[in-house]
Structure 1
Amino acid sequence: MKINELFNTKELVFSFEIFPPKVTSPISTVYNTLEELKDLKPDFISVTYGAGGSLTDNRTTELSSLVKEKYGVESVAHLTCISSTKEEIDIILDDLKMKGVENILALRGDIPVGQDPKGEFNYAYELISHIKNRGDFNILGACYPEGHVKGRDFKEDMLHLKLKEEMGATQFISQLFFDNSYFYNMLEQKEKLGIKSPIQAGIMPVVNKNQIERIASLCGAHIPEKFIKIMNRYEHDKDALREAGIAYAVEQIVDLVSSGVDGIHLYTMNNPYVARRIHENINTIINSINNKKVI
């Protein structure tokens, strides 16, 4: 199933992101996570692009196929391009098609330390265009409520978003953010530019202070003062910080849903407990909204 069709039947699309285990660990280590996540009945699960392994033995491809075929949940395979040639990308696309994966999140990706970009793809919109001309896939793109960390300015980012849509992206998933005002501003700019594709809000619950500070610094996400106080207060109490992080994420999601966003994409960090707790808090709201759409 091409998941862009979900937005025609659902008022709110709800999904999860997982990542493949390291190449030094068996892929089965993520099976328990998938078992628990599929019971929450997400609309789809996306699988991040894992480094390592051969082109024809790609864990992202393998897990994306498993999510769909074994666990009965539609999947989205992440695919980055900055360190790949067109020939290498085509090998992965052929493998995805052979395994029945129909949805791809097309990303530029980061240049690995000590390597140079291959030069055949410099931007995500180039990968989107290539995939569009290469096979019958549904293509997703990424967007950045606070601007891309390596972008020159937010206006340029939004023009790139429009270009991604023109090249073939049918929907977008946002980078994580902790202040909803940035997401609402992005939606306003989206409307002004005439971008029609739906955008899901990417939400990451905080369960570890050092981890979230590292991730926020890498992607340029602003951490509000309210959020800093939570982390500082509970940083030495693992359970309390986890519960406070869940509560903050739920508060974010309820505000976003009340404002009519197209969807929520939860960055689970392969933590099914956190995903389940959040789902328990918002499931009634999601069902109520989607039942209205059906009626």
Structure 2
Amino acid sequence: MQISQMFKRKPCVFSIECFPPKQTANFDKMKDTLRTMRTLNPDFISVTYGAGGSTGGVSTVEVAEFLKNDLNVEPLAHMICMGSDKAKAAQLLDQLNAAGVRNVLTLRGDRTPTRPESPDFAHASDLAQFVWQTQPEFDIHAACYPEGHPEAATLAQDVANLRFKQEAGATHLLTQLFFDNMHFYRFLNLARRAGITLPVSAGVMPIVKRSQIERTVALSSASLPSEFTRMISRYQDDPESLYAAGVDYAVQQLRDLIEGGADGVHLYAMNDAKVAAAVYEGIKDLL
């Protein structure tokens, strides 16, 4: 099923993100995690990019195929520009198509020493257009940044650039994580005024461990509201209390977003089924 059709059938679409394990030996454990996540009734589960194969680990295709064919959950497979070209992108699309997976999230991807710049896709919109033109049976999704992409000069400029993704065939936008809902509402207002008509899913990540604080927050470039920083300061040396407070903070964020009319809410669960279940328990009455 095309994920874009889900937004026409219900007021708020609920989704979860997972990532392929780096070791093939951990795939069975991940399958158990996904079986638990399935009980939370997600409309779809997105699968971040993993090459698998000679690089070790499990590929995006393998995880997406398991979701689609074993669990009957619609997967959203990530594709990235970095380290790819038209031939590699076409091969990945063929593999996904053979597995029955026809929803893809087109991303530029992070710059790393092992991923050279793509000779064919300078921007995510270029990759989206390639998918749209070569394999029109795929439903294309794209990312957006409520506080602006770190490399964009201004938020307004970043929002304006979303038109390229919309014109390239994207049917739905999925946000980077954020901790202050006012950024999301402001972004959404700017996007609608700029002519962006696509449904937008708001991405939220529960921060439940001290180890997540610096790593996740720094990588996301998300700003931290005072309520969040007070929570961290108060409970960072109390693991059980931090866990409970982090789940509650995410629940309150999501409840506000759902009640505020978000087209969808997306849970960055970091492959933690226990956290996903705890958060879902706090919002399921609204879904």
1:9 partner SS: coil
Query: Does residue 152 of structure 2 align to residue 151 of structure 1?
Result: yes
Q: What fraction of aligned residue pairs are identical, expressed as a percent?
A: 41
One-letter code of the match for 1:231? I
Q: Which residue of 2 aligns with 1:77?
A: 77
2:7 match: secondary structure: helix
**Cα shift at 1:134:** 1.5
Matches within 5 A, 1:4-153: 4-23=4-23, 25-54=25-54, 59-113=59-113, 115-135=115-135, 136-153=137-154
Q: Which amino acid aligns with 1:166?
A: E
* C-alpha displacement of 1:114: 5.5
Amino acid across the alignment from 1:33: T
The alpha-carbon deviation at position 270 of structure 1 amounts to 0.6
Aligned residues: 285
- Give the AA of the match of 2:138: F
Secondary structure at 1:246 match in 2: helix
Letter in 2 for 1:47: V
| Unpaired stretches in structure 1, ≥5 consecutive residues | 287-295
Counterpart CA distance in 2 for 1:81 and 1:115 is 9
Q: Which runs of 5+ in 2 are unaligned?
A: none
1:231-250 alignment runs, 5 A limit: 231-250=232-251
TM-score (norm 1): 0.93
Contact between 1:18 and 1:270, CA under 8 Å: does it hold in 2? yes
Match of 1:290 in 2: none
What code does the residue aligned with 2:197 have?
Answer: K
C-alpha displacement at 1:210, in angstroms? 3.1
Structure 2 counterpart of 1:269, which letter? M
Q: In 1, are the aligned partners of 2:50 and 2:60 still within 8 Å (CA)?
A: yes
Deviation at 1:115, TM superposition (A): 4.9
SS in 1 for 2:15: strand
The 2-side partners of 1:115 and 1:65 are apart by 25
Determine the C-alpha separation between the residues in 1 that align with 2:277 and 2:166.
33
Following TM superposition, where does structure 1 have runs of at least 4 consecutive aligned residues deviating by more than 6 angstroms?
A: none
Question: How far 1:219 moved relative to its partner?
Answer: 2.2
Q: Deviations over 1:98-143 (max 9, x none)?
A: 1110100000001222653132211000000001012110000000
2:227 is matched with which residue? Answer: 226
Gap change, CA 1:236 and 1:274, over 3 Å in 2 = same
1:191 equivalenced with 2:180 (yes/no): no
How much has 1:217 moved relative to structure 2? 1.4
Name the TM-score, length of structure 2 as normaliser: 0.95
Encode CA deviations 1:177-205: one digit per residue, 9 max, x unaligned: 00001100111111111111100000000
Shift of 1:58: 6.1
Q: CA deviation at 1:255?
A: 1.0
SS for the counterpart of 1:131 is helix
Instruction: State the shift of 1:54 in Å.
Output: 4.7
* Separation of aligned partners in 2, 1:24 and 1:8: 37
Conservation of the 8 A alpha-carbon contact between 1:149 and 1:218: no
1:106 aligned partner, one-letter code: T
> What is the rounded CA distance, in whole Å, between the counterparts of 1:58 and 1:80 in structure 2?
16
Amino acid of the structure 1 residue aligned with 2:276: A
- Whether the aligned pair in 2 keeps the contact of 1:21 and 1:29 (CA below 8 Å) is no
Match of 1:291 in 2: none
Deviation of 1:51 (Å): 4.4
Q: Judge conservation of contact 2:79–2:104 (CA < 8 Å) in 1.
A: yes
> Secondary structure of the equivalent of 1:257?
helix
